[in-house]
Chain A
Amino acid sequence: MNKILRNIVIIGLFFSFQMHAFSQVDKTMLQCEKYLVPPFVSDGQEYKALLNGDEVAEFNVTLYSGSTYRIIACSGDEEGQLIFSIYDVEKNLLYTNRDYQNSTYWDFDIKNTVNLTIEAEFVKKEEHSGFVFIQIGFKQ
């Protein structure tokens, strides 16, 4: 009997937390999507990474000359919980939202085509774990 109950609880825990995870994912997605509006068009991809504590997610992108892009970084219910920084191929820091009150989004005017790495991490590393979303939109 005890074994059955234990199994029920474990299964229940798994599904309830999975539901919790997915509901958090959907809410975070919506939070991100409100900034991806015309004239910005999605690049058609979904960038999601799971971070625990001090882990850093890396997103490799190519941005084309003559275009303006919007990069949006979201995690959790509240805005400003995520630091995102952009580096070039030589690891020069080109931008970090840390300098701008952890802004959820920022636009980038690209003069020449560049290959960049976007790094995303939680502001309060010790208290956080969860999904990180990056969305990229471009303007015609």
Chain B
Amino acid sequence: MQYYKIKYFVLSLLSIFIISCNSNTTDNSDNDSQNIENEVFSEIDSTSSEIYKFNNTLFSIPSPYEVSILMKKAGVEFNPNMTNSVGNAQTYTDNFTKALNLGVYGADLAYLNMNEQIPQSGKYFATIKITAEELQISGAFNPNTIKRIESNLGNEDSLLYILSKAYRNSDKYLKENNREDIGALVLAGGWIESLYFLAQVAQETQNEKVKDRLGEQKYPLENLIKILTPFYNSSPQYSELLESLIDLAYVFDGIETEYTYEKPVTDVENKITSITSSSRLMMNPEHIDMISDKISKIRNTITD
């Protein structure tokens, strides 16, 4: 009897293992397996990722590349003094600061790349590579990706594509390895540096498009705060960062928006929908000054 029990267990284990490795699992898999799978998924759900605990609500932060592209399109002149010096990287000793500055340097590289600053781009990429290694995000910047980036430093479009993918891989890697706190900091660093660029340029040039883009950061900031909130108590540094962003959000709250819905237009053949609804920002120069002041302080706390 004991023999049959052992045999039964071993066979069960083997069959389940085979099912799990079979890529062609179909809806016909038996219901028991599906139930157990659901239970295991639930287990993963409750233990592996904070992001699943928002009742399946996820928040997006615009890519730093979008800001650099906008500034280039708006004809904003390149300012070499805006980026964080690569020399500062050696002063970042803890993972909190390294992760934030990985995001900062990513935004800097996007800005340099968009402005065809090839030798500088190389230096920033080398710093990103070292910082990623120190944070043990080896999966995102594997030798093949590094080689592709290095050989495309002069090619704006290719670098943009490869680097975006590398940052996405890093985001994925961190989420899969229960390091969402670090992933959230990389996102935060990129967004803070982008907002810093926009605020500096808006103040200096009074460019209307840049000013609008600055005001439009109200919702991405709310999203960023929601992403960071689960880690509020993880360290005093985290609490301080979050509190400074909440303080910044109060300024953005003073910017009123007026939204008007318009029916979208869809081109089915080309699989594209034009979203034509409009939104107007009511922003005054004081808002820009206050945002610029607050984001400069936050950014300097991270980079200095």
In the A-B complex, the 7 residue pairs with the smallest Cβ-Cβ separation, listed nearest first, are A20-B20, A44-B167, A17-B40, A16-B20, A61-B60, A107-B272, A46-B172
B55 smallest CB distance to A (angstroms): 8
Chain A residues touching B, range? 35 or more
User: What number of B residues sit within 8 Å (CB to CB) of A?
Assistant: 77
Question: If the complex has contacts A12-B13, A14-B40, A50-B45, are A114 and B275 also in contact, measured as CB distance less than 8 A?
Answer: yes
Using a CB-CB cutoff of 8 Å, which residues 26-78 of chain A contact chain B? Answer: 27, 29, 38-39, 41-52, 55-68, 77
Q: Are B17 and A16 in contact (CB-based, < 8 A)? A: yes
Q: Are A42 and B279 in contact (CB-based, < 8 A)? A: no
Give Cα A103 to B9, complex, Å: 43
Question: If the complex has contacts A111-B278, A129-B41, are A42 and B261 also in contact, measured as CB distance less than 8 A?
Answer: no
Which B residues are in CB contact (< 8 Å) with A47?
A: 58, 60
Contact of A106 among B17, B213, B271 (CB under 8 A): B271
Q: Are A107 and B273 in contact (CB-based, < 8 A)? A: yes
Give Cα A5 to B12, complex, Å: 12
Contact of A17 among B20, B62, B279 (CB under 8 A): B20
Using a CB-CB cutoff of 8 Å, which residues 92-140 of chain A contact chain B? Answer: 92, 94-95, 100, 103, 105-115, 127, 129-130, 134, 136, 138, 140
Chain B residue at smallest Cβ distance from A58: B57
Which A residues are in CB contact (< 8 Å) with B9?
A: 5-6, 8-9
- Given A22-B176, A23-B20, A64-B70, 19 more A-B residue pairs with CB atoms under 8 Å apart are A2-B5, A13-B36, A14-B40, A41-B161, A42-B168, A43-B168, A44-B190, A49-B52, A52-B41, A58-B56, A62-B62, A63-B275, A77-B24, A95-B266, A107-B273, A109-B274, A109-B275, A113-B216, A113-B279
Give Cα A136 to B164, complex, Å: 11
Which A residues are in CB contact (< 8 Å) with B272?
A: 68, 106-109
Q: Are A95 and B38 in contact (CB-based, < 8 A)? A: no
Binding site for B on A (CB under 8 A): 1-2, 5-6, 8-9, 12-14, 16-23, 27, 29, 38-39, 41-52, 55-68, 77, 88-90, 92, 94-95, 100, 103, 105-115, 127, 129-130, 134, 136, 138, 140
Which A residues are in CB contact (< 8 Å) with B55?
A: 58
Which A residues are in CB contact (< 8 Å) with B69?
A: 140
